[in-house]
A and B are shown apart, each in its own frame.
Chain A
Amino acid sequence: MTITPSPALPPVVTACLGERLRAHYAQLMKEPVPDDLLRILETLNRTGGKR
């Protein structure tokens, strides 16, 4: 295996990156789920958890 470790980032940079990534992701989680996707699961609903 050829893994060369990258030099560690200063903790403050890592922390900031983490916050920005989570904020980015949280924004994407706000996107409304299209009905088509919810409808796919309706078959599961009718049969009480089984296909």
Chain B
Amino acid sequence: MSVDLSPRQEMLDAIPHLRAFAISLTGDITYVDDLVQTSLMRGLEYLGKFQPGTSMQAWLFTILRNQFYTERRCKGREVEDPEGAMAGHLAVMPGQGARLDFTDMQSALAKLSVEQREALLLVAAEGVSYEEAAQICGTNLGTIKSRINRARTRLAELLDLTSDEDLGPDRLVRASLYLHACP
């Protein structure tokens, strides 16, 4: 391995990100490695089309996402993890205290539409820009922002971070308790 920025190294670096994205996107850890594998092979196949200097990770995310949608259409694969069952298949389990948070989050994510989930994961968890997320998801900036807003609102409801009451002291206290509960 010569330079850190060789395509191979960039692809290697992207793998944990691709897997984390795919796990939280599909909620199905047994399917994830097939998906990542196919995406990497496609990446290799079309490597000539990759523009050096742009983000390899974003490029691979785009490939993975397209692959996921294609397979979903063909096989009618559903994305559900209502009981948070996926967490049981992880090799590295969250620590005792964080486990409930983890399963809560995974089942809440599974209740979002797949479009909202991918947008939120890319921007809020993976940390890509709104512009990049729009590009990866093949849509425009306004749609991405709207999906993320809705996803946040829905997730806050599902995780009980909001209440129907107006912004009152009770809600603020609860929200701040959650904030402190954040690892």
Contacts and interface: CB of A to CB of B under 8 A. Distances in A.
B175 A31 contact: no
A33 B18 CA distance: 10
Nearest to B183: A23
Describe B's contact surface by its main secondary structure: helix
Given A17-B155, A27-B102, A22 B125 contact: yes
- Could you say which interface size class chain A belongs to? 35 or more
A30 B106 CA distance: 16
Contacts, number: 141
Nearest to B148: A6
Interface in A8-33: 8-10, 12-25, 27-33
Describe A's contact surface by its main secondary structure: helix
Interface residues of B, number: 59
Interface in A22-46: 22-25, 27-34, 36-38, 40-41, 43-45
Interface of B: 1-2, 6-8, 11-12, 15-17, 19-20, 23-24, 33, 36-37, 40-41, 44-45, 47-48, 90-92, 94, 98, 101-102, 105-106, 109, 120-121, 124-126, 142-143, 146, 149-150, 152-153, 155-156, 159, 161-162, 167, 171-172, 175-176, 178-179, 182-183
